[in-house]
Amino acid sequence: MANEGGVIVVPTDFEEASVKALDLAKDLAGRIGAEVVLVHVYSLPVYTYPGLEPGLLPGFHSEVMAAARRALEQLGVAQGGLRTMLREGDAAIEILDAAKDLGARFIVMGTHGRRGLSHLFLGSVAERVVRRSPVPVMTVRAP
C-alpha cells in the first residue's frame, strides 16, 4: 500500500487488544491511504543474585529473537503482507523510537486496562506511550 497518508505504527504483543488495535488501524489506513507497520518489542529477563554475574544461557538470546521474528512475520503475512519491525528493550521506549524512525502519523495500540495493584506493579506500556508520544496515540481495550 502506498503511504501517502503516512505510517500508522501498531505495536503488538499478539494478545486480543493488539488484534483489535490492528483491525482498527487497518480500517483507518484504508480511509487515509496510510501504511500500517507492525512493531513488536521483546526483552530478555535478567536475574541477578549476590555473587553471580547476570548472564544468559548460550544461544538463548538468538532463540528468543528468532521466535519473536517468526511470530511477527507470520502475523504480518496473515494480515495482508504488512511491514514489520522487531525491537529489543523497554517496550514504551522502543515503540516511541520506532514511531520516530518510521515518521509515524499515528500509533494505534492495545491496552490491557489494568487497574489497582496490577497497574502499580506491572505499569502500563500504553500509558507511557500516550504520555510521551509526539504523535496522536489511539488505545484499544479488549473487552
C-beta separation of 88 from 43 below 8 A: yes
- What's the rounded Cα separation, in Å, for the pair 26 and 21? 9
Q: Thinking of the domain 7-141, which architecture would CATH place it in?
A: 3-Layer(aba) Sandwich (3.40)
C-beta separation of 98 from 87 below 8 A: yes
C-beta separation of 78 from 19 below 8 A: no
Domain boundaries defined on the chain: 7-141
Neighbouring C-beta atoms of residue 132, cutoff 10 Å: 12
pLDDT digits (tens, 9 = 90+) for 66-111: 999 999 999 999 999 999 999 999 999 999 999 999 999 999 999 8
pLDDT digits (tens, 9 = 90+) for 9-29: 999 999 999 999 999 999 999
